Structure 1
C-alpha cells in the first residue's frame, strides 16, 4: 500500500482475537518473526502486542464471548472516534462497542458496515498505531470481502472520505489517492464459509515460502500463491484456530 504511517481514514492497526493466544504467538512468530509482549495489568485482559524489532505491528487478544469466532480485525484511524461512530450510524452501519477510552492509549470503537463486515476505529493518544507498514512482517494491504460492493462504495467514502479507483475489475480504496486496500465481491461459496470481513495482508519476502511454513505449522490454504499481473504475489490462509489472513510480496 502507498501509506507508510497511520493517517486519518487509513488503516492503523490489526488485532487477532483468538481462542489460544500463546499458540497464536508461536504460529505467527514462525511466519513473521514477531516478538510478543503481554500487558501485565489485569485490566488489560491478556492483551499482547507483536513487534518487529522495536516497532509494534499487530496484537493478540483472547476471545471475549463464548460464541465469538477467531478473526483478524483492521482498525482505521480517526481524529474523533465519537464523530466517526456517528457517521457509521448515519451511513447505515452499526456501532458494536464504544467509543471508549483505552487507558491513556487512545479512544476505541468497534463497528460493522451494512453487510456485517467488522472493523475498528482508533483515535490515537499515547499510541498512534503500527510502527511500520509495507515491510516484512507488517501490514501491507487490506481487503474488504463483501457480497454488497455497491453498498460498500456508498458506506465507506461517506464515513471516512476515502477515494475510490479501479484497476480492471478491482476496486481500490485510498486516502487522498494513496491506495491502502481494495474490495472483492464474495461469491456464494465464500459467503457460506465466512461472513463479510476485512482481510489483512502481511508483507513477506517470499509468499510461496511463507505459505509453505504456514501449512507445516497447522494452517490451511484458502487461495494458493498467485502472481497478480503487474502486481504482487499473494496468498490467503487460515491459521490453526480458523482466523483468515493474507500474505503478499510486492
Structure 2
C-alpha cells in the first residue's frame, strides 16, 4: 500500500460515480470494499468521498434530477492546466460537457467525452491530488477504455501526450481480444484501450472500465449479488490476474481483480 502524490499529466488520478441514491450506494460500497465516507466538494451537487484508513479512494455524487445521464464510473486524468486541456479536447474532436470549473480549494475539473463518446474527467490538482491509497483491497488499480477498435487511442495521445504500445490481431484465436493499446506516461503504463469489435455492448457503447483491487474476485462477485448487484462476467483469468465484471444495484459496471504479483 503506497500513498499517491500529484500525478504526471495524462495519468488517471481519480474515479468518481454519479448515482440517483447516494445513501444506498454508500452502503453497497462500504459493504463490498470497506469504505467509510466523508463529505466532498458540493459544486456538482451532493457528493461524498470514500475512505480507506482515513485516506481518500474514490468519489460518489448525485445525478442532477434534470439530466438523464448513465450511471457509470468515470476516471479522471491529471493535467497541469484544465483549461488548456479542454481546448485540446475540442480541437481533437472531443466534447467538453462540464467545466472547466473550480471545486473549492481542491482543484479544477472538466468532464468530457472522446470522439467515440466515452466519458472521462480532467483534474487539475490543488489540495486534492487524487486517490491516496494504491494496491489495497477496494482501491482503483487500472482503467481501460472499451471501444470498437483502438484507433481512438490517438485522441488521448494528442490531448494528453500519451505514448502508445499496440498489440494488433495476429489471426490466431479471438482477434478482437488481441486488439489492445497500452497508454504510457514517461514510459510507464497508466491505462489501456481494448478494441472488442462487434462485442461492444449496444446499451453502453464505448466506455471506460474501472478495475478495483480485491483480495478474492470470487468472494467479491458473490458479495455483489448478495448486496443487490449482478455479475456481468463471472470470475476467470484476465490480463492482469483473476477478475470478474460486475454491476452495482444502480447498474454501474466495474471489474474486480486480484492482480498477479510478479
The answer to whether TM tops 0.5 is: yes
Matching residue of 2:17:
16
Cα distance, 1:190 vs. partner?
3.5
Cα distance, 1:42 vs. partner?
6.6
> Is the partner of 1:192 in helix, strand or coil?
coil
Relative distance call for 1:127 and 1:102 in structure 2 (3 A) is same
Q: Pick from 170, 174, 178: which aligns with 2:188?
A: 178
Matching residue of 1:194:
204
- The correspondence of residues 24-173 of structure 1 with structure 2, limited to 5 A, is 24-39=25-40, 45-64=45-64, 65-150=66-151, 152-166=152-166, 169=178, 170-173=180-183
What is the alpha-carbon distance in structure 2 between the residues aligned to residue 156 and residue 85 of structure 1?
12
Cα distance, 1:66 vs. partner?
3.9
Show structure 2 runs of 5+ residues with no match: 169-177
Runs of 4+ in 1 over 4 A off after TM superposition: 41-44
Deviations 1:61-88 (A, max 9, x none): 0011341221111100100001111111
Deviations 1:171-201 (A, max 9, x none): 2122122112212224445331212111110
Number of aligned positions between the proteins: 245
TM-score normalised by the chain length of structure 2: 0.87
8 Å contact kept, 1:57–1:131: yes
Relative distance call for 1:147 and 1:44 in structure 2 (3 A) is closer
Quote the RMSD (CA, aligned, Å): 1.9
Matching residue of 1:244:
253
TM-score normalised by the chain length of structure 1: 0.91
